[in-house]
Structure 1
Amino acid sequence: MNNYRTIYDAVGGFEGITRIVEAFYPRVQKHPLLAPLFPEDIFPVMEKQALFLSQFFGGPALYSDQYGHPMMRARHMPFPITPERAEAWLSCMRGALEENGLPAELQEIVLERLSGPAHHFVNTNETNEQET
């Protein structure tokens, strides 16, 4: 990443972010802990994620320009996010980064940057919400 000013630039700008998002969400949809949290029509979620990650990684403020302040913790509060789900989310992202052939050092930088927010969104330790 030494030759780039931002993670956004290092991953290939908006096109690179889009490729990561396109590799990420099929993994999420197949993951038993994550799939129940997402709508069947995943495309609006993917579009917002690409806008957000662009901004989050130092690119243009695409998300804020369209939707206002991200307020990501508040937006995630309606969903039961456990520590296990945070780790599953990061694992899906790791797979998406690998699939896109990002250098190992850049993958670790991206995952480190995402790890804080992923764990910040944890709002429950309940792992068996389905139990009766």
Structure 2
Amino acid sequence: MNGRDIPSLHEWAGGTAAFVELCEAFYRLVRVDDLLAPLFADMHPEHARFVALWLAEVFGGPADYTAERGGYGPMVARHIGKAITEPQRRRWVNLMVDAADEVGLPADPEFRAAFVGYVEWGTRLAVANSAPGADPVREAPVPRWGWGVAPPYQG
């Protein structure tokens, strides 16, 4: 296998539609979660779709989030001042993994390691960027997350 034969995480997951399904399931869980529901009480009606577009772009899909929502800067701005706590971050991660299981995202160790790696990384940045008095980097490219060191085995 050469590097050109390795699908993006976006392709491996099933494309943007898979991330839309993931985020719909995830925010159904969030809405009834005692720890996260208050944080998302005033979320935009299309919030789940926006997060799906973000994840799809991060994992190698089309730059639809950037085209529609403005990319990294506007995403970071939405977190400033939210004061996300470590317990909220951890619950977000846990519910995202639960939603991935629910909708049948690939369960192979290589995909899940990359997926959870980004979720951990991104949520830790969200906590830091949302802290009172934080002055996060506001302009950067949307991160592009890949397989890391273990691309999928395609026998």
| TM-score, normalising length: structure 2 | 0.71
Contact 1:98/1:107 (CA < 8 Å) preserved in 2?
Answer: no
Q: In structure 2, list runs of 5 or more residues that go unmatched.
A: 133-155
Give the equivalent residue in structure 1 for 2:96: 93
**SS of aligned partner of 1:121:** helix
Deviation, structure 1 residue 44 = 1.3
Aligned-partner Cα distance in 1 for 2:44–2:80: 19
**SS of aligned partner of 1:19:** helix
Deviation, structure 1 residue 104 = 4.2
Give the equivalent residue in structure 2 for 1:29: 31
Indicate how the Cα distance of structure 1 residues 42 and 29 shifts in structure 2: closer, same or farther if over 3 A, else same: farther
Identity of aligned residues (%): 28
Runs of 4+ residues over 4 Å off in structure 1: none
Deviation, structure 1 residue 120 = 1.0
Contact 1:24/1:96 (CA < 8 Å) preserved in 2?
Answer: yes
Give the equivalent residue in structure 2 for 1:112: 117
Structure in which a larger fraction of residues adopt helix: 1
Aligned-partner Cα distance in 2 for 1:40–1:26: 14
Give the equivalent residue in structure 2 for 1:75: 78
Contact 1:73/1:120 (CA < 8 Å) preserved in 2?
Answer: no
Which entry has the higher C-alpha Rg, 1 or 2?
2
For 1:115, the aligned partner's letter is E
For 2:52, the aligned partner's letter is A
Q: Does 1:103 align with 2:107?
A: yes
Indicate how the Cα distance of structure 1 residues 4 and 26 shifts in structure 2: closer, same or farther if over 3 A, else same: farther
Contact 2:19/2:55 (CA < 8 Å) preserved in 1?
Answer: yes
Aligned-partner Cα distance in 2 for 1:9–1:115: 21
Contact 1:4/1:10 (CA < 8 Å) preserved in 2?
Answer: no
Contact 1:21/1:46 (CA < 8 Å) preserved in 2?
Answer: yes
Aligned-partner Cα distance in 1 for 2:32–2:6: 33
Give the equivalent residue in structure 2 for 1:129: none
Contact 1:97/1:107 (CA < 8 Å) preserved in 2?
Answer: no
**SS of aligned partner of 2:72:** coil
